[in-house]
Structure 1
Amino acid sequence: MNDQLDALRDTLAADGYGLEVEARERGFLVKVSSADGVCDDCLVPKPLLVSMLQPALGVAADGIELLYPDEL
């Protein structure tokens, strides 16, 4: 999508997480998955990750629906 999102995706991948972004009618659905054996509870709090996604996606926080591994 863009360099900011690619950098965030690379950072998460280094720790065993995947980042999937799906455009929706009003914003984006963002899914964070984890590889086998990776701690699902070790991610940063959702509000922090949303604040990192905002400039990468170009939308306000309310335009991002974020799902963590335990919600998939």
Structure 2
Amino acid sequence: MTDAPELDGMDLDCALGGFRDMLATDGYTLSWSLNGENGVVVRIVAGEDACADCLVPLPVMETIMSNALEPTPYTLDHIVLPSGS
């Protein structure tokens, strides 16, 4: 995970942390990186015991992540899902 500057008490780890924890319970790892100045690339990787049916469709995931980033100066660039998702 990339360290982001403090954002008025809310950094990217805080903005995406709840989703990272939720996905971890289903066997996925969420990480992020910055693409340019304000774009965030979210990567979701399936672990060995990941629940294949637990990920929502990409358009829903994009809405969820975009909403999570609203309190920050960052926007969602794109999401990289595991192969076959």
TM range (shorter): 0.7 to 0.9
Q: With structure 1 as the length reference, what TM-score do the two structures score?
A: 0.76
Q: Distance in 2 between matches of 1:30 and 1:8?
A: 11
Among candidates 24, 39, 45, match of residue 35 of structure 2? 24
CA contact (8 A) 2:45 2:82 kept: yes
Give the total of aligned pairs: 68
Cα RMSD after superposing both structures: 2.0
Which of these two proteins has the greater Rg computed from alpha carbons?
2
Identity of aligned residues (%): 31
Among candidates 26, 29, 46, match of residue 15 of structure 1? 26
Any gaps of 5 or more consecutive residues in structure 1? Answer: none
1:52 aligns with 2:64: yes
Between stretches 44-53 and 22-31, larger displacement belongs to: 22-31
- The one-letter code sitting in structure 2 at the alignment partner of 1:15 is D
TM-fit CA distance, 1:64: 2.3
- Greater per-residue helix proportion: 1
Q: Distance in 2 between matches of 1:2 and 1:31?
A: 13
Q: With structure 2 as the length reference, what TM-score do the two structures score?
A: 0.66
Kindly tell me: are residues 68 and 33 of structure 1, through their superposed partners in 2, closer, same or farther at Cα, counting changes over 3 Å? same
